[in-house]
Structure 1
Amino acid sequence: MKKPYDFFLRFTKQQQKGIVALLLLILVIQLGYYIYVSVLFTGDKFTAEQEKEWLSHQTEIDRLQSQKSQKRDTIFPFNPNYISDYKAYVLGINLQQLNKLKEYRKSGAFVNSAQEFKNVTGVHDTLLVKLSPYFRFPVMPVNKQRGEEQNVVPTYTHKDEITIIDINKATREDLIKIHGIGDYYSKLIVERREQLGGYVSMEQMDDFSQIPQQAIILLKERFQVIEVPQTLKINVNNASLSQLSRFPYFDKELARAIITHRSMLGKFVKIEDLLKINGFPVQKEKIIALYLEF
């Protein structure tokens, strides 16, 4: 009776070694394939689990992105006697109303209450209700005889008028005179002005979040954009990554997104096109637009 492996003995020893080596090679290949398939399916399972987790948070992500993309109008405290053309535009005060205020101020008089502001400018009650909580008038000094602060808003005369300095011509020494603006903050303000080619609105002082709020209010009272500067324009359709990243209102991530967007969808035509990019500071849209060209 022949044994099952008798056929193997018919080969030479060299041939037998070759057959064994071939069988081992087939075994190794099969084992490697099994391991590969196992890892592949495990990875798919892991990816599927990750995808489920992402999807579970998608509603919250969509909500946050929607909130981020919405324009928010933020009004900071200000002295209504020193409203620039740009600020009037942002607040909803038309040119006729602004001119009435300017004529009133040219006479050497000041508005000292919300009602007086309405009487001079003729703004609608709805707008007055919106703006009046942010009006800031200088407070009457302490009454030395009574030792208490007066609550009555003072009436200013011409000799009481504060000398207003153009923020784009102010020196660091001028800025340091403001309580709360020291050597460091004055340097920041001047350096940012040089980067931009000039400020177009005193609202840009709010960009310096590290400066105390009271100092910001004083800055807006003592300085104004008297002459609109020739700002440094950035062409968003051909500016490089480095140029976009150096613009104070953009960071490197947003600069990359702008370049990617224009390379995939074509040139930007207006500022509204940029608002579609995730991470664009939409609340500063009007100011940023003055530094860009298309």
Structure 2
Amino acid sequence: MKSLIKDYLTVTKKEWNGLVVLILLIIAVWMAPVVYQRVHKDKLINLNGFDATAARLHMQPTDTAATIAVKMFRFNPNHLPATDWQKLGLNDHQITTIQHYEAKGGRFYTKADLKKIYAITAIDYKRLEPYINLPEKDDYTEKSFTIVELNSADSTRMTTIRGIGPGYAVRIIRYRDRLGGFYKKEQLKEIFGIDSLMYHDLAPQVSVDAARISKINLNIVTLNNLLVFPYLSYKQKNAIVEYRNQHGNYAALDDLKNIPIIDDGILSKIAPYITFK
């Protein structure tokens, strides 16, 4: 019995050496954080110096306008040079926003129109308003004027629309020719550069005579003649012509539903432009 216990409790030299190494490793891991904290002491942040630096950064100009002394003067905001906007205290972002608005055909007719520019804050407008060289109210609606019919107007007539210059007149006419004519005023928003804000200004000045639309006879039209039509993709145009060649003439708009790549949304868009005789 004593021999068994002795054999069980006996530690060989190799095992004893391993036990010593393990104990030393445990001690080293336990002491490592203490030694590290003593060698690498945390440095205190000088908050006073940090606050002073932050204040200096805050005082530095963030754009060109901050480096130009503000000088108020009477001005017309339409196509006002950027340097003059800077003198009036506007920053680069605000000036760029105004220039984008004008590039899209926007124009200021009254003082309050400047409020349409989202970058102009209420404080900015209150400061600028006494110097804006425009009427307080828009008397345009009180004047007698002729509504421009979009499907018959030429480029000269188009430019009589307030907010439409020669460039936009050409865009409208080119898009009208591709369509075959407008059947509703809202189609103006499909023209590049005419957004909802600009359309809101144009809508009261224009009308549409849908009877002037040049319709497409699907039973005789060729693929080449269909290519300019903007409401169909090339695959859809080709499918319409090929289906007719294979199955004969179309009798009604519903026949187009047999073409898998033409859905109800497409049919509703092209319906005003399609005829079968």
Shorter-chain TM-score range? 0.3 to 0.5
Q: Which has the higher contact order (CA 8 A, sep 6+)?
A: 1
Bigger-Rg structure (1/2):
2
TM-score, scaled relative to structure 2: 0.42
